[in-house]
Structure 1
Amino acid sequence: MTATLPHVGDLAANEPVYRVLLIEDDAADALLVEELLHDTELRFELTTSTSLAEARSKLAARAVDCILLDLHLPDVSGTDAVTTVRAMAPHTAVIVLTGLSEKQAGSEAMAAGAQDYLVKGKVEADLLRRTVRYAVYRSRTERAAAEAQSARLRAEENARLERGLLPRPLLDTSTVTVTTRYLPGAEKALLGGDFLDVVEGDDGLLHAVVGDVSGHGPDAAALGVCLRIAWRSLVLAGHHGTELLHLMERLLVAERGNQHLFATCTLLTLDQKAATATLYLAGHHEPLLTTAEETLEVPSEHGIALGIVPGHRDWPATVIPLPDSGALTLYTDGLTEGHNGEANGRLGIEGLLPLINTTPAEDPAAHLDSLIRQTRALNAGRHTDDLAVLRLGWGFR
Structure 2
Amino acid sequence: MAEALEGVPAPRRNADAVLSGTLEASRSAWPGDPVALLLVEDDPGDALLVEELLADSGISAALSWARSLADARRVLAEQGVPGCILLDLHLPDAHGLDAVTQLLAAAPGAAVVVLTGLAEEASGLAAVAAGAQDYLVKGQLEPQLFGRAVRYAAQRKQVEQAAAALQVERVRAQENSRLERGLLPVPLLRGDGFEVVSRYRPGRAQALLGGDFYDVVETADGTVHAVVGDVSGHGPAEAALGVCLRVAWRSFVLAGSSGSTLMELLEQILVAERDGEQLFATLTSLSFTPDRRRVRVVRAGHPGMLQRVGGDVEWVEPPGGPALGLLPGLAHWPQEELPLPPGAGLALFTDGLFEGHTGRGRERLGERGLLALARKAAGLASDLFVDTLISDAEAAAAGHGGLADDVALVHLGWKQTDS
CA contact (8 A) 2:373 2:389 kept: no
CA contact (8 A) 2:83 2:110 kept: yes
User: Cα distance, 1:84 vs. partner?
Assistant: 3.0
State the AA in 2 paired with 1:293: G
State the AA in 1 paired with 2:348: L
CA contact (8 A) 2:271 2:325 kept: yes
Change over 3 Å in CA distance of 1:346–1:364 after alignment to 2: closer
d(CA) in 1 for partners of 2:208, 2:308: 29
State the AA in 1 paired with 2:385: P
Question: 1:172-211 maps to which residues of 2 (within 5 A)?
Answer: 172-185=190-203, 187-189=205-207, 191-211=209-229
d(CA) in 2 for partners of 1:74, 1:180: 67
d(CA) in 2 for partners of 1:148, 1:137: 16
Give 3-state SS (helix, strand or coil) of 2:35's partner: strand
Taking only aligned residues, the RMSD between alpha carbons, in angstroms, comes to 2.7
CA contact (8 A) 1:336 1:346 kept: yes
Q: 1:33 aligns with which of 50, 66, 71?
A: 50
Q: 2:367 aligns with which of 349, 356, 381?
A: 349
Larger displacement relative to structure 2 (244-253 or 128-137):
128-137
User: Cα distance, 1:386 vs. partner?
Assistant: 3.0
Change over 3 Å in CA distance of 1:58–1:101 after alignment to 2: farther
Question: 1:101-116 maps to which residues of 2 (within 5 A)?
Answer: 102=120, 104-116=122-134
Question: Given the two structures, how large is their TM-score scaled by the length of structure 2?
Answer: 0.83
User: Cα distance, 1:215 vs. partner?
Assistant: 2.5
d(CA) in 2 for partners of 1:105, 1:299: 74
1:284 corresponds to which residue? 302
User: Cα distance, 1:277 vs. partner?
Assistant: 1.5
For the pair 1:84 / 2:105, whether they are aligned, the reply is no
1:366 corresponds to which residue? 387
State the AA in 2 paired with 1:54: R
1:392 corresponds to which residue? 412
d(CA) in 2 for partners of 1:367, 1:258: 37
CA contact (8 A) 1:174 1:200 kept: no
Change over 3 Å in CA distance of 1:323–1:395 after alignment to 2: farther
User: Cα distance, 1:124 vs. partner?
Assistant: 1.3
User: Cα distance, 1:168 vs. partner?
Assistant: 0.8
Change over 3 Å in CA distance of 1:188–1:331 after alignment to 2: closer
State the AA in 2 paired with 1:238: G
Give 3-state SS (helix, strand or coil) of 1:193's partner: strand
User: Cα distance, 1:70 vs. partner?
Assistant: 2.8
User: Cα distance, 1:135 vs. partner?
Assistant: 1.9
User: Cα distance, 1:261 vs. partner?
Assistant: 2.0
User: Cα distance, 1:372 vs. partner?
Assistant: 4.1
d(CA) in 2 for partners of 1:84, 1:20: 20
Q: 1:139 aligns with which of 143, 157, 166?
A: 157
Question: Structure 1 stretches of 5 or more lacking a match?
Answer: none
What is the percent sequence identity of the aligned residues? 48
Give 3-state SS (helix, strand or coil) of 1:392's partner: strand
User: Cα distance, 1:280 vs. partner?
Assistant: 0.5
Question: Given the two structures, how large is their TM-score scaled by the length of structure 1?
Answer: 0.88
Change over 3 Å in CA distance of 1:327–1:4 after alignment to 2: farther
State the AA in 2 paired with 1:199: V
In terms of Rg, which structure is larger?
2
Larger displacement relative to structure 2 (322-331 or 22-31):
22-31
1:56 corresponds to which residue? 76
User: Cα distance, 1:125 vs. partner?
Assistant: 1.9
Change over 3 Å in CA distance of 1:378–1:328 after alignment to 2: farther
CA contact (8 A) 1:275 1:396 kept: no
Larger displacement relative to structure 2 (369-378 or 221-230):
369-378
2:5 corresponds to which residue? none
User: Cα distance, 1:308 vs. partner?
Assistant: 2.0
Change over 3 Å in CA distance of 1:47–1:356 after alignment to 2: farther
Question: Structure 2 stretches of 5 or more lacking a match?
Answer: 1-20
User: Cα distance, 1:390 vs. partner?
Assistant: 1.5
1:160 corresponds to which residue? 178
CA contact (8 A) 1:23 1:55 kept: no
For the pair 1:315 / 2:333, whether they are aligned, the reply is yes
Give 3-state SS (helix, strand or coil) of 1:350's partner: helix
2:313 corresponds to which residue? 295
Larger displacement relative to structure 2 (73-82 or 289-298):
73-82
Give 3-state SS (helix, strand or coil) of 1:370's partner: helix
1:273 corresponds to which residue? 291
